[in-house]
Amino acid sequence: MDWNRFKNYYLSINKLNFSLDISRMNFNKSFFDYMEEDMQRAFSDMDQFEKGSIANPDENRMVGHYWLRNSSIAPNEEIKKAIDSNLKHIHDFAQKIHSGEIKSSSGPFKNMIIIGIGGSALGPQFVSQALFNPKRNRLTPYFFDNTDPDGFDLILNHLKNELDQTLVIIISKSGSTPETRNGMIEAEAVYGKAGLNFAKHAVAITGTNSQLDQNCKKQGWLDSFPLWDWVGGRTSELASVGLLPAALEGIDIDQMLKGARDMDEVTRSHNTKENPAALIALMWYHATNGKGAKDMVILPYKERLSLFSKYLQQLIMESLGKEKDLQGKIVHQGISVYGNKGSTDQHAYVQQLRDGINNFFVTFIEVLKDRETKSLDVDPGITSGDYLHAFLLGTREALSENNRESITITINEVTGYTVGALIALYERAVGFYASLININAYNQPGVEAGKKAAAATLSLQEKIVKFLEQNSDQSFDAFQIAEKINEIQKSEIVFKILDHLAANPDKPISKTIQTPFDKSTFKLQK
């Protein structure tokens, strides 16, 4: 790497203990001049969003996750007071749990099950792993982040001897999210079977007057916290969604908020070359030609940040993966994101990154501090941390030698402050990039389409079961059933539903396997 290019494209922000190196991205000297007008428009868009303009035109909503860490910039006094009041509420509730003022019938709470999906789980999971400290941790978190019965059983069986000392936090803005609702029903049933009052263990994070909010009030749950419509799920980690679990775990949420607030101040700058979020957005545009032409690989060389790629996967792909632009033109935008951690990845897919198809760019995340205490030598004068750092630099160099582009983000250590800063950095980079490519980063029509298709599948299952109940003395193959219920075009889905029903003991459907497979028959068991 040319030393002068490195100096020109290395941004160091001392007050954040943060630096960004874009020198290994192969843009030419005219790139910044070419993009400057578009970047200034993106700055202007972001300024207006922070002032409360409509950022999500599809749902006619403001987008205010920036206000969460600095309520003084909220567009009105009502929102400011709501943010400040909620933060105090979170601190007060966590203190009461930690002190034992709020406790279970058998003593202080030791654990918590967090029931949520998407941003309601990915953010809390990332933060919990990044900031876990066995000397400080108060409540141990477990997650229901799916509607997988086996997953429920694994956690509930693990906690069966401490169920009474396990808090349950249910997170859903609407209160009707199927995965979250199912997890709540399963947990409530297990608590009831154990002779425990679920309401005395339950906390809601939800929208005002949602189904979940009404249920919480009706049953007298321990407490509830708001989810405002101007905070999207994927940008909710610094709202109740992320702050309450973190505070209960014993994490310093004020430092997280401060890190995010300080990063916001830096990334409000309209000086493109001094704004790390703007530089990242521009590198995405350069690497992907503004059309998602390459994948983004996230490689943090730190165990604590191993879930960061999953967190960013949702933040970036759900925000940028859009069919239409703001004018309704078909554009099929997005950037695919994947990653794990270094140096594990060197023994997984770095071989392809180095020698295979060049359809990606990498973001390395470098953490300078190895551990809290002094490290021992594994070789003379060399520690395990030295090896990890050498693997990062070596992998980066090996990729560059073969014309594989990379960005490097450097932080001093993983703390609440730096985690908050990283969250804020990428939230704003996503917003800038969305402006550059002219899409709405704050809706998710594809997710809603999937939910509708799932609901239709469950309706189809009801039709299948009803037909078999009405013809319980006969066996049918999948196509015959599809034909009988007037769903021939969905014959494949009918077969898949029948296969699932027959595999589960709670469903009274039997399968007789035949060759070829499509002649297998299904029958209601009497």
What is the tens place of the pLDDT at every residue in 249-286?
Answer: 999 999 999 999 999 999 999 999 999 999 999 999 99
Residue 347 annotated among the catalytic residues of the structure: yes
Q: In this structure, what DSSP letter does residue 209 have?
A: T
How confident is the model at residue 317, as a pLDDT? 98
CA distance readout (Å), 166 to 136, 162, 395: 18, 6, 43
The percentage of residues in the chain with a pLDDT greater than 70, rounded to a whole number, is: 100
Beta carbons of 477 and 488 less than 8 angstroms apart:
no
Residue 318 annotated among the catalytic residues of the structure: yes
| Average pLDDT value for the chain | 97
Give the residue-averaged pLDDT of 197-224: 97
Beta carbons of 66 and 238 less than 8 angstroms apart:
no
Give the number of C-alpha atoms closer than 13 A to the C-alpha of residue 421, restricted to the C-beta side.
24
Single-letter code of the amino acid located at 478 = A
Where does the pLDDT of residue 137 fall: very low under 50, low under 70, confident under 90, or very high at 90 and above? confident
How confident is the model at residue 135, as a pLDDT? 83
| Distant-in-sequence, close-in-space partners of 228: CB < 8 Å, separation ≥ 6 | 64, 79, 82, 207, 239
Residue 451 annotated among the catalytic residues of the structure: yes
How confident is the model at residue 122, as a pLDDT? 97
Chain segment 293-351, per-residue pLDDT in tens? 999 999 999 999 999 999 999 999 999 999 999 999 999 999 999 999 999 988 899 99
Where does the pLDDT of residue 217 fall: very low under 50, low under 70, confident under 90, or very high at 90 and above? very high
How confident is the model at residue 346, as a pLDDT? 81
The percentage of residues in the chain with a pLDDT greater than 90, rounded to a whole number, is: 95
Instruction: Give the C-alpha separation, 240 to 245, whole Å.
Output: 8
pTM of the model: 0.96
Chain segment 398-457, per-residue pLDDT in tens? 999 999 999 999 999 999 999 999 999 999 999 999 999 999 999 999 988 888 999 999
Nearest to 407 by CA among 494, 296, 246, 267: 296
CA distance readout (Å), 515 to 50, 497, 500, 525: 62, 19, 19, 22
Instruction: Give the C-alpha separation, 505 to 4, whole Å.
Output: 68
- Say which of 7, 329, 347, 526 is annotated catalytic: 347
Beta carbons of 426 and 365 less than 8 angstroms apart:
no
Instruction: Give the C-alpha separation, 109 to 391, whole Å.
Output: 42
476-477 vs 521-524, strand pairing mode: antiparallel
- As given in the structure block, the two tokens for residue 460 are 């189809």
How confident is the model at residue 134, as a pLDDT? 85
CA distance readout (Å), 476 to 471, 487, 503, 506, 512: 9, 14, 17, 20, 10
Chain segment 54-106, per-residue pLDDT in tens? 999 999 999 999 999 999 999 999 999 999 999 999 999 999 999 999 999 99
Where does the pLDDT of residue 526 fall: very low under 50, low under 70, confident under 90, or very high at 90 and above? confident
φ/ψ bin of 251: left (φ > 0), alpha (ψ from -120 to 50), beta (otherwise): beta
pLDDT exceeds cutoff 90 at 178 = yes
- Say which of 179, 318, 366, 405 is annotated catalytic: 318
Instruction: Give the C-alpha separation, 219 to 199, whole Å.
Output: 6
Beta carbons of 117 and 451 less than 8 angstroms apart:
no
Nearest to 83 by CA among 230, 252, 213, 203: 230
Q: Please give the domain boundaries of the chain with CATH numbers for all domains.
A: 3-51+255-441 (3.40.50.10490), 65-251 (3.40.50.10490), 454-524 (1.10.10.10)
Nearest to 225 by CA among 210, 234, 394: 210
Beta strands in 145-250, from DSSP E residues, in sequence order: 166-172, 202-206, 223-226
How confident is the model at residue 301, as a pLDDT? 98
